[in-house]
Amino acid sequence: MAVGALIAALVPTTTSATSIGMLVYTVSMFFARVWMSLPPMPDVVQTISRFTPLGAASQALAAGWYEHRFPGVELLVMVVWTAVLVPLAARLFRWT
């Protein structure tokens, strides 16, 4: 939601916001391993995935479900994204 709020704050029209939002969503789904779940990702892509919002959320769910561990790092990543992007979006948002 924080990424969407930032897109809404920066993009002037709803059409361009939808286009940019869908692009960001598609890239986020890639890093959440929606399309590449069976073959393993390269190490560099796995590292990037750990630090993206949807990738961290996906890994947090997997950690709790399959590994039976508390997903502390993944939750921290999501908290940092939220803590940075929501105030930034609020600061940049303008009613027009």
pLDDT tens, N- to C-terminus, the chain (96 residues):
999 999 999 999 999 999 999 999 999 998 888 876 656 778 888 888 889 999 999 889 989 999 899 999 999 999 999 999 999 999 999 876
55 phi-psi bin (left φ>0, alpha ψ -120 to 50, beta other):
alpha
Positive or negative, the CA dihedral 26, 50, 62, 75 is negative
Quote the pLDDT of residue 36.
Answer: 67
- Domain region containing 19: 2-92
Quote the pLDDT of residue 84.
Answer: 97
Question: Using an 8 Å Cβ cutoff, are 17 and 7 in contact?
Answer: yes
Q: What is the pTM assigned to this prediction?
A: 0.83
Helices (H), the chain: 2-10, 14-31, 43-50, 53-62, 72-92
Gap between the Cα atoms of 83 and 35, Å rounded: 28
Quote the pLDDT of residue 43.
Answer: 83
For the chain, how many structural domains are there in total?
A: 1
